[in-house]
């Protein structure tokens, strides 16, 4: 099969909706065989029909260490190998008690760490173990967030989530340094605000939408779409990025370099008046 990922077998944890689903489709288009992991039975059935013989869809909880292990075994047994992992699974703990530091409940903290960091730890560990066992090179791409290093106190003060995503950066970069000589690469994609089920609250808030107009000013100032990350995902999983490891690549519409306070034209006027 031709394509930038031709002959590769990719596991995507969190691959049945949002960013992960878009990535599954992108990897398939680029010639990969894919094992996608998700929790929702209906979404799994729908994706199974879509993928046909190009992929396998498994139901599992990403916080369970056996889930990633089963997915990697499926990649090897059903598709003949294992070349890359994209970990997307995660989410907001806002409804469970995440928020500003002084308001975070113990349950909110633990839940948020589990779904965002514990799950990623399990998948990354399983992937590295498999690469070492097979004595093969491989690529791991972890989905982080700009909130891990570029906070938004007015609209996104979920400090447990920010802590988990900051830890993703630390784990990824530390592991990238350790395993580089084995040919195992680890990188992070850090999206800004993207239109996924997780961001429904933000998408329905006119104040946040106005904030995003200047905080993510690229392409007219908008919320990102899952497909905006696809090219970066494919590149990092492909041999085109074989000399890249330990990097944090922001696909954020300009979030991390923008103020997000007022329209650019007004800001320019203010600068001229100073």
Phi, psi of 144 (to 5 degrees): -100, -140
- The Cα diameter of the chain in Å comes to 67
Distance between CA 194 and CA 251 in Å, rounded? 10
Query: Lowest-confidence range among 83-97, 112-126, 171-185, 258-272?
Result: 258-272
Give long-range contacts, CB 8 A cutoff, 24+ apart: 38-45.
38/14, 40/16, 43/16, 43/17, 44/16
Fold of 9-199+226-257: Rossmann fold (3.40.50)
* Active-site residue set: 161
- Give the per-residue pLDDT at 272: 35
Paired tokens of 120: 């990623």
Say yes or no to pLDDT of 271 above 60: no
Say yes or no to pLDDT of 273 above 80: no
- Give the per-residue pLDDT at 262: 52
Report the helix count and the strand count for the chain, using DSSP H and E: 10, 7
Q: If you ran DSSP here, which 8-state letter would residue 140 be given?
A: E
Say yes or no to pLDDT of 78 above 90: yes
Tens of pLDDT along 192-251?
A: 999 988 888 888 999 999 999 999 999 999 999 999 999 999 999 999 999 999 999 999
Distance between CA 212 and CA 255 in Å, rounded? 8
Q: Where are the domains of the chain?
A: 9-199+226-257
- Give the per-residue pLDDT at 261: 72
- Give the per-residue pLDDT at 2: 79
Reference 189, options 156, 223, 232; nearest CA is 232
Tens of pLDDT along 37-67?
A: 999 999 999 999 999 888 999 999 999 999 9
Distance between CA 181 and CA 157 in Å, rounded? 39
Paired tokens of 68: 């990633």
Q: What is the mean pLDDT of the chain?
A: 93
Tens of pLDDT along 97-141?
A: 999 999 999 999 999 999 999 999 999 999 999 999 999 999 999
Which residue has better confidence, 269 or 205? 205
- Give the per-residue pLDDT at 187: 99
- Give the per-residue pLDDT at 1: 54
Say yes or no to pLDDT of 82 above 50: yes
State mean pLDDT over 175-204: 94
What percent of the chain clears pLDDT 70, i.e. is strictly above it?
95
C-alpha 57: how far from its chain's center?
18
What percent of the chain clears pLDDT 90, i.e. is strictly above it?
88
């Amino acid at each position: 099969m031709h394509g930038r990922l031709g002959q590769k077998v990719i596991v995507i944890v969190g691959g049945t909706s949002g960013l992960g689903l878009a990535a599954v489709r992108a990897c398939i288009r680029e010639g990969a065989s894919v094992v996608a992991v998700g929790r929702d039975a209906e979404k799994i059935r729908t994706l199974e029909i879509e993928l046909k013989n190009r992929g396998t869809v498994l139901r599992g909880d990403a916080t369970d260490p056996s889930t990633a292990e089963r997915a990697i075994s499926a990649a090897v047994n059903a598709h003949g190998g294992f070349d890359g992992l994209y970990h997307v699974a995660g989410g907001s703990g806002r409804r469970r008690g995440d928020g500003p530091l002084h308001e975070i409940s113990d349950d909110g903290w633990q839940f948020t760490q589990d779904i965002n960091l514990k799950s990623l730890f399990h998948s990354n560990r399983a992937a590295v173990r498999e690469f070492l066992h097979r004595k093969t090179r491989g690529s791991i791409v972890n989905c982080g967030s700009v909130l891990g290093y570029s906070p938004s106190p007015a609209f996104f003060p979920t400090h447990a989530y920010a802590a988990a995503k900051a830890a993703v950066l630390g784990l990824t970069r530390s592991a990238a340094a350790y395993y580089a000589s084995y040919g195992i690469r680890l990188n992070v994609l850090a999206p800004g605000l993207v239109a996924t089920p997780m961001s429904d609250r933000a998408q329905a808030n006119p104040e946040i939408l106005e904030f995003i107009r200047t905080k993510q000013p690229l392409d007219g100032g908008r919320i990102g779409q899952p497909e905006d990350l696809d090219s970066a995902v494919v590149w990092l999983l492909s041999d085109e990025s074989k000399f890249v490891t330990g990097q944090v690549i922001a696909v954020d519409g300009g979030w991390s370099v923008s103020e997000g306070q007022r329209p650019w034209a007004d800001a320019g006027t203010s600068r001229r008046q100073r």
